[in-house]
């Protein structure tokens, strides 16, 4: 059991949605509305009226305020859409890990920073930090880590999410195969209201490490009919985009080959090799 408030004022009417908690607290006889973003407590009403009954829906907080005996409804516009952090899947690795915050988003703006803390479940001397959407962290101490991702939007709102990393320690091993770890389908704004189609393909080897310099070839079908190739970067990521652009295109992208000088491409039944936008 965890106590969120501080025993100094009367706190009432908790409401929960998407892991955010809102409530009202009595300050000098006047009730105000507060919410907790997972890290910090924020006061969001104005100290001039009697506020009560906070309610949360789709990241927005609404409440009831009394003006001289007349009740009115308010909502918190600055918190309409908080950024949402997604720290990716749990991973079992050797002594390095590539983290994935690409599923994080901000409905009403953009995320300006991705800050990672790998918090060791033991001595803090083994903690590590990183920044960016897909950072790779090496020389991990063997054991379990909480991979905590905090994202910040352009209005300095933050949100934190965690995954688990299990590190086995250094591996004196040579990879022989590679596979598609993930495909993300999207569109990129072009000109005159048109868009390009774009597929982000991540390639890992059989030791769960990213594969650089692999040539990924795939086809776009549907509104497009193209075959394109790109080479993976140091994080094992190839971004493949159509040469044509259309208005509101719909498509399916499928990987047809992955080529790298020393590794064999292996198709895995439980991994998607096609993705639609």
Domains in the chain, please, with CATH? 11-79 (no CATH), 91-167 (2.60.40.10), 177-276 (2.60.40.10)
State yes or no: pLDDT of 150 exceeds 50.
yes
Tell me the average pLDDT of the chain. 81
State yes or no: pLDDT of 1 exceeds 50.
no
In this predicted structure, what is the pLDDT of residue 79? 46
State yes or no: pLDDT of 142 exceeds 90.
yes
Distance CA(36)–CA(220), nearest Å, equals: 44
Q: Could you tell me which residue, 146 or 52, shows the higher pLDDT?
A: 146
Cβ-based neighbours of 248, under 8 Å, separated by 6 or more: 195
Q: What's the angle, vertex CA 67, arms to CA 66 and CA 71, rounded to 5? A: 45
Q: What's the angle, vertex CA 262, arms to CA 256 and CA 268, rounded to 5? A: 40
Question: Which residue from 121, 189, 160 is spatially nearest to 40, judged by alpha carbons?
Answer: 160
CA 50 vs CA 10, 30, 111: distances in Å: 14, 6, 35
State yes or no: pLDDT of 26 exceeds 80.
no
Q: Could you tell me which residue, 235 or 44, shows the higher pLDDT?
A: 235
Interval 69-86: pLDDT, tens: 666 666 665 544 678 889
State yes or no: pLDDT of 153 exceeds 50.
yes
Dihedral sign (CA 191, 196, 200, 201):
negative
Q: Could you tell me which residue, 84 or 107, shows the higher pLDDT?
A: 84
CA 272 vs CA 114, 124, 267: distances in Å: 27, 38, 9
Distance CA(260)–CA(124), nearest Å, equals: 39
Query: What's the alpha-carbon Rg for the chain, to the nearest Å?
Result: 24
Distance CA(214)–CA(234), nearest Å, equals: 10
Count other Cβ atoms within 10 Å, centred on residue 96: 17
CA 96 vs CA 91, 135, 136, 138: distances in Å: 11, 10, 7, 4
Q: Could you tell me which residue, 31 or 11, shows the higher pLDDT?
A: 31
In this predicted structure, what is the pLDDT of residue 271? 67
Q: Could you tell me which residue, 169 or 65, shows the higher pLDDT?
A: 169
């Amino acid at each position: 059991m965890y106590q969120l408030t501080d025993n100094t004022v009367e706190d009432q009417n908790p409401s929960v949605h998407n892991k955010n908690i809102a409530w009202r607290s009595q300050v000098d006889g006047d009730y105000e509305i507060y919410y907790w973003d997972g890290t910090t407590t924020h006061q969001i009403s104005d100290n001039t009226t009697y506020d009560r009954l906070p309610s949360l829906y789709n990241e927005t907080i609404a409440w009831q305020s009394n003006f001289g005996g007349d009740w009115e409804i308010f909502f918190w516009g600055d918190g309409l859409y908080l950024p949402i952090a997604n720290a990716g899947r749990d991973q079992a690795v050797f002594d390095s890990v590539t983290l994935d915050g690409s599923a994080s988003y901000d409905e009403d703006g953009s995320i300006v920073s991705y800050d990672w803390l790998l918090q060791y479940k033991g001595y803090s001397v083994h903690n590590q930090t990183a920044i960016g959407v897909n950072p790779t962290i090496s020389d991990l101490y063997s054991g379990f880590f909480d991979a905590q991702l905090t994202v910040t939007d352009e209005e300095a709102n933050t949100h934190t999410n965690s995954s688990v990393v299990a590190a086995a320690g250094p591996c004196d091993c040579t990879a022989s195969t590679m596979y598609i770890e993930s495909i993300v389908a999207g569109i990129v704004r072009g000109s005159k209201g048109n868009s390009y189609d774009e597929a982000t393909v991540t390639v890992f080897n059989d030791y769960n490490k990213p594969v650089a310099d692999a040539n990924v070839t795939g086809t776009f079908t549907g509104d497009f009919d193209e075959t394109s190739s790109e080479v993976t970067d140091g994080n094992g990521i190839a971004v493949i985009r159509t040469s044509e652009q259309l208005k509101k295109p719909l498509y399916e992208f499928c990987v047809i080959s992955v080529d790298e000088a020393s590794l064999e491409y292996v198709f895995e039944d439980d991994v998607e090799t096609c993705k639609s936008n």
